[in-house]
Structure 1
Amino acid sequence: MRNTLRLLSLTLIAALTGLASADQVRTESGGQTGNIVNSTKDALILNKSGSPVEIPIEEIVTVSFDDEPFALKQARQEAANGQLQDALDRLKKLDPTGTDLIKQEFEYLKAYCTARLALAGSADANEATNLLFKFAQSAPNSWHFYEAAELLGDLAVSQQQYDRATQFYGSIANAKAADFKARARVLAARALIAQDKYAEAQKMYDDVLGLQSPSPGVARQKDFATVGKAICVAELGKPADGVKMIQPVIERANPKDIDLFSAAYNALGRCYLKSNQPKDALLAYLHTDILFYGNPEAHAEALYYMSKLWKEVNDPDKGVAAYDLLRSRYSGSRWASMN
């Protein structure tokens, strides 16, 4: 009996040891472990018991390497939780070691945190752009490539460099995955909205909405397209129609999808503004402020409009508070610089 228990214990320890010593790729459907041996723009290659397994980027949620420093794991989790400055401070103290893929992960995470902070006005946009360029040049086949291109495009839009943004977003259309191709069009249309080119943006959103694909990722991009189209419809004179378009997106969206919810409620607020319904607009922006503030760019936008709307509903003190929060938390954002 003792020998049997000892054998079971040794077997369990060996199994746990084998699990702990593997690279891990968490996907939408679960997770896989093995040895990550290669990366392309469109997939990670995982060696499982001697057999290569290709994991498409659209299925990947997060990745961790067996040999990466524990501080890198901590920084990755902090970034995922929205603690961007904490993650960046931790990364700045870290001397990256390990495989080329681990070093690439370090460089990307540092660039990602800096870029997201810059988009919120809490870091230098030029520094973030340089870090992303450096990463893209040193790791042109990284599975983070298209994410980096999106961030570069977002930074270009924030600096009103729309031609550059179009180039960066256009590179995402080269991805194999249908949802990334759809994302490229959604982003390009958003850049057109920033230029007040609503008719052109609406046409691009319609192209996305016309896509035929069973991919959940494409369905999510269609929701973003619906939200964007609602803004266009409102700005072109039919804000009530825009409101009707957004409501179903809010009803069916994943409650954890902060980016989609914040975009939807901000768009809803914009539609109500165009309808001259300040109380309803304020309520929409309050959703972003209270529930979906995890997206810094969207939160800054909501605070800007709230600072105006509180005054319209005769509560100027709350308007001042919203503006003070905007200036203190997102001081370098374009929303903080607007009157």
Structure 2
Amino acid sequence: MNMRWLGIAFAAAGLWQATAFAVDTVVTSTEQVRGRITQMSPQAVTVETAAGPKTVPVNQILRITYDAEPAALGTARSNVETSRFEDALTALDRIPADSLRRPEIAQDVEFYRAYCRGKIALGGTGSPQDAGSAMVNFLAAAPNSYHYWDACRMVAELLIAVNDYDDAVEYFGKVAEAPWPEYKVEGLQKSGWTYILAGKFAEAEKAFDQALAVPLSGDDSPKLLATIGKARTLVEKGQTDEAIAMLRPIPERPDLTENSEVMGRLYGTLGAAYRKAGKLKDAVIAFLHVDLLYFSHTPSHIDALRNLAELWPQLQHPERAAEAVDVLKEQYKVNISAG
């Protein structure tokens, strides 16, 4: 083979390699896997790389970018990661339908559109029903998407927003069916908290016990939420001293200071225990921790405001109760009366 044809052969080989491999990128916390995605399921994504096929478990994936995806999709993804959901929707709306040449890209667009609508609805703007329907439609159209678990979580949260607790438990139950311990614990403890909203404390206690029985290494936040939930069921049974004793070590951990979900649930449960025990000032102090420090966890904040609206008049501060009622109405579209 003369040098001219040899050069053409090498150029063609390089072009083929670039086309065949460095196209899609699966990003985890430790690596970026580049190649061509050949299989996708809720459990794993398989990438054909230059070194051969590599399977990446979905619970390790942070994001996937696709070859030839519209630039606006990348913009939307970045906006979602920084909680700029309105901006993400604006970017998604700029994507022409005829530019979505691969099913995976079209599915990503629909997932992020439904996800952003869900987040906006949970923030008090828009319809939880419409957002939930959009996400259910996504699940029906793309059952093998790696977004499956996030979609189930979102549907469950939107169902809670419309007080459909039984169906919310069903979707959290899907998360509990995942093959990874942290997902199992998450699905079970979130089912437990949903049962509490429904007033089904026996079912809640069972879900929390199941979560606590799952072996789990690494981040123990999901199990702490199950422990707090278990304590909340003890409060309902009047075992307030036992509940408080279960919770006492948690606020001493400095690594949890910024965890609004754990700390919000913790102080909300302490408030419920003190209130059940007739210690109203201690209850108010606990609920104020949520209102002033851990308000970013919406379910805990709503619960704390409801309790403060009822407790402040008993401590001769009706004006503070009125403030709690106003926040519930203006921020969360929840209408209650003080006292």
Q: Which runs of 5+ in 2 are unaligned?
A: 1-21
Paired residues for 1:53-68 under 5 Å: 53-65=54-66, 67-68=68-69
Q: Which runs of 5+ in 1 are unaligned?
A: 1-19
Structure 2 equivalent of residue 201 of structure 1: 204
Amino acid at match of 1:34: R
Structure 2 equivalent of residue 10 of structure 1: none
Offset of 1:261 from its aligned partner?
2.8
Larger Rg: 2
Contact 1:270 1:281 (8 Å CA) reproduced: yes
Cα deviation digits, residues 252-277 of structure 1 (max 9, x gap): 45444333332223223222322333
Contact 1:122 1:329 (8 Å CA) reproduced: no
2-side partners of 1:144 and 1:76: how far apart? 13
After superposition, the Cα gap between the structure-2 partners of 1:137 and 1:264, relative to the gap in structure 1 and judged at 3 Å, is: same
Paired residues for 1:177-216 under 5 Å: 177-214=180-217, 216=218
Answer 1 or 2: higher relative contact order, Cα 8 Å, separation at least 6: 1
TM-score by length of 1: 0.79
After superposition, the Cα gap between the structure-2 partners of 1:127 and 1:197, relative to the gap in structure 1 and judged at 3 Å, is: same
Offset of 1:89 from its aligned partner?
4.4
Amino acid at match of 1:305: N
2-side partners of 1:319 and 1:85: how far apart? 33
Contact 1:82 1:294 (8 Å CA) reproduced: no
Structure 1 equivalent of residue 155 of structure 2: 152
After superposition, the Cα gap between the structure-2 partners of 1:22 and 1:62, relative to the gap in structure 1 and judged at 3 Å, is: closer
Structure 1 equivalent of residue 32 of structure 2: 32
Structure 1 equivalent of residue 139 of structure 2: 136
1-side partners of 2:317 and 2:87: how far apart? 35
Question: Would you say how many aligned residue pairs link Structure 1 and Structure 2?
Answer: 314
Contact 2:23 2:35 (8 Å CA) reproduced: no
Cα deviation digits, residues 129-166 of structure 1 (max 9, x gap): 21111110111011121221222223333333343233
Cα deviation digits, residues 300-331 of structure 1 (max 9, x gap): 33333333344444443343333222222221
Q: Judge which range, 133-142 or 244-253, deviates more.
A: 244-253
Paired residues for 1:1-339 under 5 Å: 23-27=25-29, 30-35=30-35, 37=37, 38-65=39-66, 67-95=68-96, 97-98=99-100, 99-214=102-217, 216=218, 219-252=220-253, 253-331=255-333, 336-339=334-337
Contact 2:328 2:335 (8 Å CA) reproduced: no
Identical counterparts, % of pairs:
28
Contact 2:195 2:204 (8 Å CA) reproduced: yes
| DSSP-derived class of the 1:294 partner | coil
Q: CA RMSD in A?
A: 3.0
